[in-house]
Amino acid sequence: MLHSISLGLLLFGVWLLLSGFFEPLLLGLGVVSCLVVVLIAHRMDMIDREGHPIHLGWRIVIYWFWLALEIVKSNIDVARRILDPKLPIHPVLIRLQASQKSELGLVIYANSITLTPGTVSVQVETGEILVHAIAKEPAEALQQGDMDRRVSAVEGPAEGGGKGEEAA
Amino acid sequence: MFIAVTAAILITMALALTRALLGPTVYDRVLAVNMFGTKTVLLIAVLGFLTGRPDFLDISLVYALINFIGTIAVLKLLKFGDLGTAGGRDEPAED
Amino acid sequence: METALDIVSWVLLVTGSVFAMIGGLGLIRLPDVYTRMHGAGITDTMGAGLILAGLMVQGGFSQVTVKLILILIFLLYTSPTSTYALANAAFHRGQKPLLGKPGHGKEDDQPSKP
């Protein structure tokens, strides 16, 4: 129920920000369409801890800042490799242990790997991710497990996981 | 100055289109077309500023949505051979 | 103040454009699908992020900026998802990644358990 209310409020907030009109008729239409969406989402059983993860709270925001810094660093590294006339790449496939307990955490981890250029997650299984890296250095950086620990910390002491694929 | 950014995005789009035409595999083409779509989103946003019509941003937002759905649909068709399958990640690909 | 903001915005826009073009170049230069994904990743994160950030500075505190932020968030959510879908589809369909130094023709790095 809490999730439904927060989803409805979120949808209405997005509606207000996107429309920019504050006439009663348009506001009413907005409320109605938000309610319909929440109802449909409820019927599809999409409102749960994974589809709408409000329990992550501020930890995920802090993680985003760290991730943004990582993305900038690896961007510069990969850009240097592409511009180098010798093309110093050395693609490797590695298997990574993923310590996340829920599928949501696993998806956040896999998407973070893909979002940092230089590494792409190819196959995600429970507790294990197959990663393609453009060179040995980014692969070794991942194997140090810094990102893995941070995602697990973001995930927090989560209990149980459903079967959602979305929301990272 | 926005013109310079527009030109840069157009060059990137041309490069992506070259890759889409060269192939060699179908995945290269999908990757290139996906990138082309992302660049289109940016191009529309920058064009909105260039022509002083910020309404373009709505179109750009919708284009981002369509691009994502389109890429996923094409990949699903490639992976499972039809769009009706409820594809889970544990489902084996039938070759 | 105006000029300072303008300079920040142009720096962001130009850096973003340069990164976008580097990504495009990578799409042409790199040898196979999986490595090209890294090139596309540059344009999707750094290119799009910096260009949209530059536009946000131009937009100031307005509805325009809110829409730009929404576009950016949406791109950052979807681009890894579609890249993963692409990599996974290619891998499932038996597309072998090129491993080791290109041009040597030997696969010296098989997937290994850590």
Residue C98 inside a domain? The answer is no
CA distance C14 to chain B (A): 7
Predicted pLDDT of residue B88: 52
Amino acid at A20: G
Is residue A132 classed as helix, strand or coil in its secondary structure?
Answer: strand
Residue A61, number of CB atoms within 10 A of its CB? 10
Nearest to C36 by CA among C90, C77, C76, C81: C90
- Average pLDDT of the residues of chain A: 78
| C83 to A35, A123, B35, C36, C67: CA distances (angstroms) | 33, 11, 10, 11, 24
Least confident of A46-55, B1-10, C58-67: A46-55
Q: What are the residues whose beta carbons fall under 8 Å from the beta carbon of C38, sequence distance 6 or more?
A: A78, A117, A118, A119, A120, A134, C26, C30
Q: Is B55 on the interface with A (CB under 8 A)?
A: no
Portion of chain A with pLDDT greater than 70, in percent: 86
| A164 to A106, A114, A128, B88, C58: CA distances (angstroms) | 11, 19, 18, 10, 38
Q: How many residue pairs bridge chain A and chain B with CB atoms within 8 Å of each other?
A: 3
Q: Pick the more confident residue, A47 or A112.
A: A112
Nearest to C27 among B35, B60, B64 (CB): B35
Q: What are the residues whose beta carbons fall under 8 Å from the beta carbon of C102, sequence distance 6 or more?
A: A87, A89, A91, C31
Residue C102 inside a domain? The answer is no
Domain ranges of chain A: 2-43, 57-155
CB contact under 8 A, C84 and A95: no
Nearest to A61 by CA among A166, A147, A164, A154: A154
Nearest to B61 by CA among A168, A10, C63: C63
Q: Pick the more confident residue, A39 or A154.
A: A39
Q: Are A108 and A152 in contact (CB under 8 A)?
A: no
Query: What is the tens place of the pLDDT at every residue in A16-28?
Result: 888 877 788 888 8
For C63, name the nearest residue in chain B, comparing CA atoms only. B54
Q: ipTM of the assembly?
A: 0.77
CB contact under 8 A, C114 and A97: yes
Is residue A122 classed as helix, strand or coil in its secondary structure?
Answer: strand
**What is the C-alpha separation between C58 and C55, in angstroms, rounded?**
5
CB contact under 8 A, C13 and B1: yes
Q: Both tokens of residue A23?
A: 């006439």
Q: Pick the more confident residue, C104 or A101.
A: A101
Strands A128-133 and A92-97: antiparallel
CB contact under 8 A, C22 and A121: no
Tell me the chain A residues in contact with residue B89 when contact means C-beta distances shorter than 8 Å: 124, 165
For C47, the domain range is 2-92
CA distance A117 to chain B (A): 14
Flag whether pLDDT at A165 surpasses 70. no
CA distance C58 to chain A (A): 18
Predicted pLDDT of residue A157: 62
CA distance B2 to chain A (A): 23
Residue C44 inside a domain? The answer is yes
Nearest to B22 by CA among A85, C80, C29: C29
Nearest to A54 by CA among A96, A19, A104, A94: A104
Is residue A4 classed as helix, strand or coil in its secondary structure?
Answer: helix
Residue C81 inside a domain? The answer is yes
Residue C14 inside a domain? The answer is yes
Helices (H), B23-87: 26-50, 56-80
* CA A123 from centroid of its chain's CA atoms: 16
Predicted pLDDT of residue C105: 43
